């Protein structure tokens, strides 16, 4: 059954993204921005340019290539074969070089001729602006172009709701009656010219801005036998540079925006995980992310927004986020996340262990105590001893773990679980937050540590008795408990997040590692979100069979940390193969098709790219390979690289512990050396 009138989310898998947050551009591979789908220039939750089509004598150039041009740029190469010499070789070409700037972009149009005779043409740029909210674009809603106003020569202006967009063409003229810039071009034989235009946005209501300083994290120099790792890391760090954001009122506290185009703002869970995976490059990003979220920590009970005292928020927008067709209406500051509060606690702990200065930790301890109070007083609404969620507003997210689509929590037979839902990995996060919180309270002379150690011990026993199920591939933790406290028995990637939390015994960790290595989960280019043997599986389901880059990286990190080299290496190989197929820009997610069936991963057509926690997956892979695990307060650094060096030799220079550059070399046998450790730290080698 079909509905021809339903709104469809536009596809973007084949578009080219360029970003300097909070501004980004999505264009076709030929560089054209056409008035269709999600193409356009976006700034802080609004599409500020919906069209930028370049024509030569009224015709489109013929595109032949595109590639990145620095961290915030792209180059598009096209031919003008109807001009120039009448030979098989093209003699007139256009290089369209686009670079994002704070609050806009600049574009150079290089027109070059190697023809033997003069070339003459009119080059035009057709423009359009609708200032459509991102949620309208995302839901495929209708938009209407605004009328431009002409100002200075070569300038067009659009305004609505306090936002002003100005496009200026250097030495261009505005064609009367059209939103069109025009340049006459005359080239002598073997000459070239450069045309320029720029976009500038004035948006005083934006809640996020471009940070004023350069990235604070280290940019390591990495050599590896597997060149895919170095290429992925290089591309990812460029993308992360472009995803940096700050709040308007606190421009020096940097966090990572979740992803282009839908989520280029503050997302609690995404920003926390991304900062956590970036810790091998320094603690500054973690510290500023913690401060940003602490300033917005919940203080009251609000069922509409999901706010509660001590709770860490989920999402920040300039206004209510309403998605047409599915009843989703999220307040501008939305707290509908079950896990961000616990992840905040563990990021503070992990940053402390990587060497975050004690005064910065001390400043955040009141927020730590508030987060733990939320865990004690608000996270377990029905008192069964597990952390669960339910959307009581009817307008928020039905599922509030990282798999937050409405149909993500399914039984093995494919039927949907009903809320309240207690997710498996959330219990692991709660256990880890309790033990990490206790460590911080003890270290800084705060009361309450024993209470949280008791909480963790009780939770582990309760989890052991209620969550484990027997599946076709053997015993494993259930995905969740449903409202009737029945185990939701699907085999999913969620269980991999339990590794390294401390919730599992060594024997249970081994069983989880074995389940993760089954073909149903590990048979694609990474870790499937749901086993292919389960009834709800679909390779292009958002959360029930697709592969998420960050999810795979988190599980690789957990496997590596606990010494399960073989499954970690298999998943790493899949993820690196996917990175190669996607030109080393890992998308948010991609299809979970079997590697034996498809020669390359199938794109998920609405996936964000670049995306923060997908990009930080490269750093997680690097850390797993070199096996560096510091505990600065305890004065130790554990060294546990992947046994046998399945990724080959890796030489990583300028990792950072306690602000000090540290180098790690792993040879082809897996033997590792570390140089440059800060004074007072002892290296502990582990097998």
DSSP string, 490-526: --BGGGGGGTTSS-S-HHHHHHHHHHHTSHHHHSBSB
Q: Which of 683, 646, 652, 678 is nearest to 665 (CA)?
A: 652
Please report whether residue 684 resides in a domain. Answer: no
* 240, 115: one domain: no
Q: What is the pLDDT of residues 494-549, one digit of tens each?
A: 999 999 999 999 999 999 999 999 999 999 999 999 999 999 999 999 999 999 99
Strand pairing partners for 119? 187
Domain ends where: 206, 227, 253?
206
Quote the DSSP letter at residue 578: H
Are both 459 and 513 inside the same structural domain? yes
Report if residue 11 sits inside a domain. no
Domain end marker among 177, 206, 235: 206
Residue at 224 is within a domain: yes
pTM beyond 0.95, yes or no: yes
Domain count, the chain: 2
- 450 with 505, same domain: the answer is yes
**What is the CATH classification number for the domain harbouring 185?**
2.70.98.40
The segments of the chain whose pLDDT lies below 70 read: 1-6, 324-325
In this structure, the answer to whether residues 195 and 260 fall within a common structural domain is no
User: Pick from 240, 275, 298, 228: which is nearest to 583 by CA?
Assistant: 228
297 with 443, same domain? yes
Looking at the fold, whether 202 and 286 belong to one and the same domain comes out as no
- Asked if residue 242 and residue 168 are part of one domain, the reply reads no
- pLDDT (0 to 100) of residue 5: 59
Instruction: Provide the domain limits for residue 126.
Output: 16-206
Answer for the pair 87, 176: CB distance below 8 angstroms, yes or no.
no
C-alpha distances (whole Å) from 517 to each of 471, 608, 625, 626 are 14, 27, 18, 22
| 6 found inside a domain | no
Last residue of a domain, one of 150, 172, 206: 206
In a domain, residue 672? The reply is no
| Position 2 in a domain | no
Q: Burial letters for 284-303: b for 16+ Cβ neighbours within 10 Å, e otherwise? A: bbbbbbbbbbbebbbeeeee
CATH code assigned at 587:
1.50.10.10
Whether residues 124 and 265 share a domain: the answer is no
SS3 assignment, position 319: coil
Cα–Cα distance measured from residue 206 to residue 319, given in angstroms and rounded to the nearest whole number: 10
CA atoms of 141 and 47, how far apart (whole Å): 13
Q: Give the C-alpha separation, 340 to 169, whole Å.
A: 45
133-159 residue pLDDT tens: 999 999 888 899 999 998 899 999 999
CA distance 267 to 613: 11
* Residue 106 · residue 198 · CB < 8 Å: yes
* 358-377 and 424-443 helices, crossing angle to 10°: 130
371 domain residue, yes or no: yes
- Do 374 and 455 have their domain in common? yes
Instruction: Tell me the chain's radius of gyration from C-alpha atoms.
Output: 26
Taking the C-alpha atoms of residue 413 and residue 669, their distance in angstroms, rounded to an integer, is: 45
Query: 384: number of CA atoms within 13 Å, CB side?
Result: 18
283 in the same domain as 177: no
- The CA-to-CA distance between both ends of the chain, in Å, stands at 58
**Whether residues 598 and 535 fall in one domain:** yes
Same domain, yes or no: 179 and 245: no
Cα–Cα distance measured from residue 189 to residue 210, given in angstroms and rounded to the nearest whole number: 43
User: Is position 7 within any domain?
Assistant: no
């Amino acid at each position: 059954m079909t509905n021809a009138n339903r709104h469809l989310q536009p596809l973007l898998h084949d578009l080219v993204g360029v970003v300097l947050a909070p501004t980004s551009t999505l264009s076709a591979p030929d560089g054209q921005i056409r008035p269709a789908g999600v193409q356009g220039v976006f700034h802080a939750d609004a599409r500020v340019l919906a069209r930028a089509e370049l024509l030569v004598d009224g015709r489109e150039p013929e595109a032949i290539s595109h590639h990145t041009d620095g961290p915030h740029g792209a180059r598009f190469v096209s031919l003008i074969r109807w001009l120039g010499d009448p030979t098989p070789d093209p003699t007139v070409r256009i290089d369209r070089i686009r670079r994002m700037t704070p609050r806009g972009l600049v574009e150079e149009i290089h027109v070059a001729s190697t023809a033997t005779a003069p070339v003459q043409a009119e080059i035009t740029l057709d423009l359009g602006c609708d200032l459509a909210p991102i949620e309208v674009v995302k839901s495929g809603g209708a938009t209407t172009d605004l009328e431009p106003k002409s100002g200075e020569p070569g300038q067009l202006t659009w305004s609505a709701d306090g936002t002003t967009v100005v496009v200026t063409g250097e030495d261009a003229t505005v064609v009367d009656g059209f939103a069109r810039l025009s340049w006459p071009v005359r080239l002598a034989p073997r000459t070239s010219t450069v045309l320029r235009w720029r976009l500038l946005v004035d948006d005083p209501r934006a809640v996020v801005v471009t940070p004023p300083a350069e990235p604070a994290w280290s940019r390591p120099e990495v050599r590896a036998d597997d060149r895919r790792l170095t290429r992925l890391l290089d591309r990812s760090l460029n993308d992360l540079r472009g995803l940096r954001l700050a709040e308007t009122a606190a421009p020096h506290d940097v966090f990572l925006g979740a992803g282009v185009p839908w989520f280029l703002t503050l997302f609690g869970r995404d920003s926390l995980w991304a900062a956590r995976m970036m810790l091998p490059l320094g603690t500054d990003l973690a510290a500023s992310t913690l401060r940003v979220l602490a300033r917005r920590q919940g203080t009251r009970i609000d069922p509409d927004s999901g706010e509660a005292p001590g709770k860490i928020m989920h999402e920040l927008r300039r206004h209510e986020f309403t998605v047409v067709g599915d009843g989703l209406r999220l307040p501008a500051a939305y707290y509908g996340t079950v896990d961000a509060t616990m992840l905040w606690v563990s990021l503070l702990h992990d940053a402390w262990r990587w060497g975050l200065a004690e005064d910065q930790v001390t400043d955040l301890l009141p927020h730590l105590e508030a987060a733990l109070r939320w865990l004690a007083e608000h996270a377990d609404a029905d008192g069964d001893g597990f952390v669960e969620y339910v959307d009581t507003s009817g307008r928020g997210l039905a599922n509030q773990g990282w798999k937050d689509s409405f149909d993500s929590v399914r039984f093995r037979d494919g039927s949907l679980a009903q809320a309240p839902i207690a997710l498996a990995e959330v219990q692991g996060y709660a256990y880890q937050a309790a033990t990490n919180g206790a460590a911080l309270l003890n270290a800084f002379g705060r009361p309450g540590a024993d209470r949280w150690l008791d909480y963790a011990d009780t939770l582990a026993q309760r989890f052991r008795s209620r969550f484990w199920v027997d599946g076709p591939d053997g015993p494993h933790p259930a995905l969740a408990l449903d409202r009737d406290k029945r185990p939701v028995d699907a085999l999913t990637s969620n269980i991999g997040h339990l590794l390294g939390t401390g919730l599992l015994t060594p024997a249970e960790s081994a069983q989880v590692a074995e389940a993760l290595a089954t073909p149903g989960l590990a048979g694609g280019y990474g870790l499937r979100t749901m086993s292919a043997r389960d009834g709800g599986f679909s390779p292009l389901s958002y959360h029930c069979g697709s592969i998420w880059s960050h999810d795979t990286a988190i599980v690789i990190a957990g496997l590596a940390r606990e010494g399960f080299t073989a499954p970690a290496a298999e998943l790493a190989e899949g993820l690196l193969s996917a990175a190669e197929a996607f030109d080393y820009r890992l998308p948010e997610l991609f299809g979970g098709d079997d590697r034996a069936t498809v020669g390359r991963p199938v794109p998920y057509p609405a996936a964000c790219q670049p995306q923060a926690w997908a990009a930080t997956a490269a750093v997680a892979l690097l850390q797993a390979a070199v096996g560096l695990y510091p505990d600065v307060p305890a004065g130790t650094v554990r060294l546990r690289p992947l046994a046998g060096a399945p990724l080959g030799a890796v030489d990583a220079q300028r990792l950072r512990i306690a602000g000090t550059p540290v180098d790690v070399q792993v040879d082809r046998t897996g033997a590792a050396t570390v140089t440059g450790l800060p004074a007072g730290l002892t290296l502990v080698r582990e097998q």
